[in-house]
Structure 1
């Protein structure tokens, strides 16, 4: 990000090395599958993570976290060979490392967990409590976007200062620090005119941290490699494609007769709305919204999901109705969208993999081709293609049958419906969304250069090779 007002010299370190380049993300360009590829060296087809959730045979979405026991990340492999690491807030790693050689604070989307009492005490010393939750406050008008930006900036500063404290105190072989606030703030701001003042201060704080790392590495006068990367890019979005509305309006999915299809305008002054808003505020402030639903009884999962839906509904009331998979008449639904939102969407054929199938095996392939062809004719679709190009069915994953990429300026959602319409204005939290183009930069300090094109899956073997550690998978 270029800026005359803000100091971005930390990023210029990589420009001077002439190593700053585009790094292609995963399909879809979502943090969970992307970071899983970085941690494990496996493609999404191999590790089976397609988004933050997956769908089961009963059409239920479950949280899909990165399991470090099944797929040991590079820092745990390094730990087994005596290398010590600092791993700060890795996205979708929900359990702290048990190795004494790994100092860790877990990251988005759950409250932080600590690998040791020492790390927890240090975190409290700097007042770092993970990424702040600002979504509900913004959607209800409780806080302004400026206040939300300042909250993200404060968390970024605290993470940087805590990381510097731990780095200076310990002799780490590897340091991994993830700043998730840069991703989150862009979702709320990219269509706003006052963009620089909301985003640039956060990047400036990261730039200062990059300069600190560069200067510290130079003082060591040892062999080192310094990598800067993002798991995806971001762009502004002015339009939202509601996927299941398209499928319903084109005759591929059917709503249950009991579903009220009339959008209801919100009355912010009503007692009901005020009570709902206060309940959601309390839930978010106490971080129950971030509970790992897949590890709770289904009855408690539904309560938690209800709180999230109340938060989301406050943004979309009067625009369209919010629906879920349970609102679809599955015995009459041939195809439905689920799980993925953003610049890439996914569609499942309702076949024998599900509990209420509507499509026979000999009907599936022609139906896939028909939907792909029809999607391809829509002006907002960049490309539609078969899901089998990227994912396969497994014990853990029912793979999507169709994937589609939207054109620039569009995002998508599978949880909405509006009769005879499927393009709407995005809510506050969708003013920006992910693109496939992330960034990668590398700087060498007395170390041999790594030749060739770099992809996300190359980070894992690159790290292991640098330390002379063999991959045990």
Structure 2
């Protein structure tokens, strides 16, 4: 029986859940709040699945991990790489559990593909995983495949009209949590974790709409079952970030181009965007007609590279091919990250000032905070980070696509965007004390270690929360990171593009 169970809820925050809690639709979450302690929780910048789920598992900020978003741009070499599980320069909290002779069961944490070896079990998760060789031990995947376990829905949600695809996501969430509960019963471990990733996909497209509400009711039912089945365990709920409605889309590279920071080249391939042809739309149609794999296999690379990713335009490696580097001083990724060519400090200062003063068409600011990378991060990888990092004002979605986009636009296919404030809750017979202030996502890993009596490594940025009425946790030396790999993984890129979950 697990001593500690952690349920990760991608994109969850108390503001999102409040109407359903008030209506009595989430009775088990409500009961956990009554019995335990809870607070808001701040994620690292940018507030995105990658890197924040691994900020959680390591207790470290991105400056120590070397991963800052779904992509990393090297302006000197004009390359773009996509991280995998091996790109993060750190051990994870379950490595410390294993060294202490404790076991862990980890299910569906994003950015854990390819899977890690550990004493217990691991089922890789997140948008970058593939339905092959996705577990440790390896034979566990045969068992899961036999149960019909799916890492991803067969048809991705690409719009708020995709009701059947949304229903399938609700079913997938139900199956994910059922499988997690079965695994915990069949393979007892000391600490168990399961992330519900696709709930935030529903929130992105439907916000608080009916599919999202149903999914949260399913989650609530499973939380009640977990609490009943494991009454002696410490049960934690946490998220990688929160979510809120979008009122403004900020096309950062269009703005950079309008300000003279970025120069791009146009080509005949722009015609595809003008007539509404893009990869996400083709992918959705191919899925529906059951020919997706055939289209991917047979389409010439030259054609695929000429078609925009989605309505916003060219992304990933495509956008680097369109940059006129001789006349460019800055280029943006999505959700608040800007890289400066040659790390030019004068350009950095100018960008910080311009972003601090930038207003949308209604006169509202785009950024709530604008930071240099040295202010946003700490650690040995800070010099690899985007030079300017800004926290989007709530209601703003920042796109890093390159295309014929206005600087500002209304909400597009997404109805809601990530925000930095997530949630945390701890409940169980060993939990005491109170949480009177917002905690950090970096605090969860050391708190999990403290909950089972393990020492906290000295290189973690977070603090072990005082929830267990004992003395301060012991400290220990860090475990060196193993085989960090910064190379791009094409399978991960294909999955991200296929899901349309690049922002």
| Shorter-chain TM-score range | 0.7 to 0.9
**What does residue 356 of structure 1 align with?**
none
Q: CA deviation at 1:267?
A: 6.2
3-state SS, counterpart of residue 124 of structure 1: helix
In structure 2, the residue matched to 1:469 is 454
Residue matched to 1:127: 148
TM-score by length of 2: 0.75
- Indicate which of 389, 392, 396 corresponds to 2:375: 389
Is the CA contact 1:133–1:284 (under 8 Å) kept in the aligned structure 2? no
Deviation string, structure 1 residues 51-109 (Cα, Å, up to 9, x no partner) = 1221223222211233389522112321233222221111111122323x221110012
Confirm or deny that 1:349 pairs with 2:340. yes
Asked whether the equivalents of residues 33 and 49 of structure 1 are also in contact (C-alpha less than 8 Å), the reply is yes
* Matching of residues 210-221 of structure 1 within 5 Å: 210-218=223-231
Q: CA deviation at 1:396?
A: 9.3
Please state if 1:324 is matched with 2:324: no
CA distance in structure 2 between the aligned counterparts of 1:435 and 1:128, rounded to whole angstroms: 31
Q: 1:244 aligns with which of 253, 274, 281?
A: 253
Choose from 215, 222, 236 the match for 1:209.
Answer: 222
Tell me the secondary structure at the aligned position of residue 469 of structure 1.
coil
**Is 2:249–2:409's contact at 8 Å kept on the other side of the alignment?**
yes
Instruction: Give unpaired runs (5+ residues) of structure 1.
Output: 290-299, 354-363
Residue aligning to 1:89 = 108
SS in structure 2 opposite 1:90? strand
Cα pair 2:66 2:381 within 8 Å, conserved: no
Q: 1:309 to 1:409 in 2, by over 3 A?
A: farther
**2-side partners of 1:146 and 1:276: how far apart?**
17
Aligned partners of 2:135, 2:266: CA distance in 1, in Å?
49
Q: Distance in 2 between matches of 1:165 and 1:122?
A: 12
- Aligned counterpart, 1:294: none
Among 41, 45, 52, the alignment partner of 1:23 is 41
Could you report, residue by residue, the CA deviation over 1:299-343 in whole angstroms, capped at 9, with x for unpaired residues?
x9x94x975984733x35xxx7777122111111112213xx23x
Q: Where does residue 188 of structure 1 map in the other structure?
A: 205
Runs of at least 4 residues off by over 4 Å: 257-264, 272-289, 305-311, 320-323, 392-397, 447-453
Deviation, 1:48, is 2.1
How many Å separate the matches in 2 of 1:177 and 1:106? 10
Instruction: Answer yes or no: is 1:254 the counterpart of 2:266.
Output: no
Assess if the C-alpha contact under 8 Å between 1:230 and 1:438 holds in 2: yes
1:238 and 1:19 mapped to 2: Cα distance?
33
What is the match of residue 406 of structure 1?
Answer: 392
Q: Is the 8 A contact 1:242 1:417 kept in 2?
A: no
Number of matched pairs: 426
- Equivalent residue for 1:197? 210
2-side partners of 1:64 and 1:435: how far apart?
Answer: 22
In the TM superposition, 1:202-351 aligns within 5 A as: 202-218=215-231, 222=232, 224-256=233-265, 258=267, 264-266=273-275, 285-286=292-293, 303=301, 310=307, 312-313=309-310, 315-316=311-312, 324-338=319-333, 341-342=334-335, 345-351=336-342
Secondary structure at 1:171 match in 2: coil
Structure 2 residue 74 is the aligned partner of structure 1 residue 74: no
Displacement, 1:406? 2.6
The one-character-per-residue Cα deviations of 1:173-211 (angstroms, maximum 9, x if unpaired) are 111011001111111112xxxx44110111111111111
Q: Residue 243 of structure 1: CA displacement?
A: 0.8
Contact 1:86 1:176 in 2 (8 A): yes
Q: State the Cα distance separating 1:172 from its structure 2 match.
A: 1.9
What's the RMSD between the two structures over aligned residues?
3.6
Gaps of 5+ in 2: 1-16, 360-364, 458-476, 479-503
Q: Deviations over 1:121-156 (max 9, x none)?
A: 442343111132644x635xxx94211221111111
Is the contact made by 2:273 and 2:308 (CA closer than 8 Å) also made in structure 1?
A: no
The partner residue of 1:152 within 161, 165, 169 is 169
- 3-state DSSP class of the match of 1:405? strand
Relative distance call for 1:439 and 1:79 in structure 2 (3 A) is: same
